[in-house]
Amino acid sequence: MSQQAAQVETLFLHEHGEEFRVAAHRDGERLFHGILELKETDAGPRPRRLRVKDGTSEELRSPDQFVDLARRAARIRVSEQTAPLARERIREMLDAYQIEAKVVRTCRLCASDGRYSPITSETAIETDDETICPECARQQLDRELAFKGSISGDARDRLEELLLEVQDLDRVTNLLSGQLDPDLTKFDEISATVDEVDPVRVDSLDLHPGMQEHLESRFETLLPVQSLAVEHGATEGRDQLVVSATATGKTLIGEMAGIDRVLNNKGTMLFLVPLVALANQKYEQFQDRYGDMVDVSLRVGASRIADEGGRFDPEADVIVGTYEGIDHALRTGKDLGTVGTVVIDEVHTLGEDERGHRLDGLISRLKYYCESGGAPDSGDTQWIYLSATVGNPGQLADQLRATLIEFEERPVPIERHVTFADGREKIETEKKLVKRAFDNKSSKGYRGQTIIFTNSRRRCHQISRKLEYSSAPYHAGLDNRKRQRVERQFADQDLAAVVTTAALAAGVDFPASQVIFDSLAMGIEWLTVQEFSQMLGRAGRPDYHDKGTVYMLVEPDCSYHNSMEMTEDEVAFKLLKGEMEPVITHYDEGAAVEETLANVTVAGKEAKRLNDRMVGEVPTKHALGKLLEYEFIDGLSPTPLGRAVTRHFLAPDESFQLLDGIRKGQHPYEIVADMELRDEH
């Protein structure tokens, strides 16, 4: 004991019932601990004995050994949590031996375990009406996380960071139950930015009088990205890739160029989008804006069966179409007339696994169509590509042979929040967020409205039914009339929220102030950084709102399909911290065979040239070999089977499954059910 006493830096005492815990420390490490008993004498309190603990056993020491230990210790500290009377007994006992002690604030949990852990106002963590040290607070947080289920390192680091920042354990653990403490849920803020661009006056444009008059009735000057595009030849036939945030005015660039060329007899304008819902919305907008100047028609995927109530007219001046709708026209040899301008909206779709190769093929086939007599006599077709999110804009512009117009302004700031909740808690949290937004108006007089993104149509309806304020589901399973009604109600501020699938995130025009991620999945795939950025960009419009707000509702240790390797909490911080993925079109064997067959069907002997100029690298020789093996082509012409396969956008394995079912005499419903089951697995 005497040797240990000589080495003790701190001797710590803390009340323990009628006794006192004693702990000896050196260099932050505990040397030993035990229990000190006092006795009352005529001269005052004195040590009775010291019981030194060793695991589960105890070793008795004499009172003199405690006194010797106290005299040799560099300092003696008494816990502030010790009751005043007990503290006075210790002080009186030590004074008798002329030993000084200081009362300090310590962690009760450490003291109860015989450890000396002083805390200050900078390190104290509040919990249950007491203060504990950061290490004990971390341990309690870990126990709470274990109770909730496994949680990723990034999510745990974020919670620990908040714990040390706000010094309140209960506030932090409340986040795990979906509590909306804005000071804690706020992850960061994407500031509003303004690039200095000299605005182009509308009256300085040299457009067809009809388009010129139309624009002058709406604007005095163009927005910055529009001004940049005009300065770099958008209204002079130059091909452009325009990359700029949502709500910065990209669409008008395509409209200015395309409608002007239509009015000057330089060919039809094609405005192409990835989704039927978006095509319907753009069609209605174009009808309203330009219907008195030009004929507007609609060509969507459903046009393979019916022309959407007769709205498709190949002779129209402006054709709004889905990628698939226009591609189907090419694959089946339809005449699209003379094409003067092609606007490809959401061109970052080129990077998607499922649809990327089809857009890549469509662009190549459409260029071939225009070069083969489908372009105006007065010049080549103009191509304008639009996107809010491209990780490699320079490279993509080179591949598309277009001038890059990149504008990084964000019209309003966006706050990004993260909170944790399970599936049931998420809906309660969404109710609170939707209500809070709709109950407040911006300085421009608009109520806050919300888009909730989730990963299934069923969940859309489930959430919408349970929200307190008026809301509506919005997904591809609704017919066009119902979707239009939802769009109109939202625009009129009759709805506090729309609940939609992530698949409909691209470009659908809901002027929302708030975006909530009920799920970070699209179907059974986690969102990419690009998709996430595209979706959160829907929050906040400069003409409506002062800021945008984004909430990610994250369920720890959750995944939506057994094929998902990561959990939702891991994905959340990957999305928040990740860099935008480059737009790259990848070709596996099925995609290469499908696009090569479509190119053979459209261009025959020129198919290799079409493959060579696509954005992705297509293994043409291998694909042609497979087409011959599958009997989809004969030489460089499609067989009847090949035409049927490409007409219906079938991958090779899908076509073989169909053929197998037909040959076995299966009912069509059985074949479709089998194909759906195959897709799920």
310 CB-contact burial (10 Å; exposed 0-12 / middle 13-18 / buried 19+) = exposed
Model confidence over 217-251: pLDDT tens digits? 999 999 999 999 999 999 999 999 999 987 788 99
The stretches of 477-561 forming alpha helices (DSSP H) are 480-491, 529-536
Q: Is 404 within 8 Å of 538 (Cβ atoms)? A: no
Identify the DSSP state of 512: B
Neighbours of 631 (CB within 10 A): 11
Q: What is the pLDDT of residue 326?
A: 95
Neighbours of 598 (CB within 10 A): 27
Gap between the terminal Cα atoms of the chain: 70
- Calpha distance 377→205 (Å, rounded): 24
202-407 in CATH: which number? 3.40.50.300
- Looking at domain 414-577, its CATH class is alpha beta
Q: What backbone torsions phi and psi does residue 132 show, to the nearest 5 degrees? A: -130, 170
Q: Is 312 within 8 Å of 337 (Cβ atoms)? A: no
> Could you tell me which of 309, 304, 340 has the C-alpha nearest to residue 322?
304
- Calpha distance 299→320 (Å, rounded): 6
Question: Nearest-5° angle of CA 7, CA 13, CA 16?
Answer: 140
- Calpha distance 131→522 (Å, rounded): 43
> Domain-by-domain residue ranges, the chain?
10-113, 125-176, 202-407, 414-577, 589-677
Q: What is the pLDDT of residue 507?
A: 52
Neighbours of 660 (CB within 10 A): 12
Q: What is the pLDDT of residue 232?
A: 96
Low-confidence spans in the chain with pLDDT less than 50: 1-3, 5, 302-309, 681
Neighbours of 220 (CB within 10 A): 10
Neighbours of 319 (CB within 10 A): 27
The stretches of 332-446 forming alpha helices (DSSP H) are 356-369, 393-400, 423-438
Amino acid at position 601, single letter: T
Q: Let me know if the fold of 202-407 is the same as that of 414-577.
A: yes
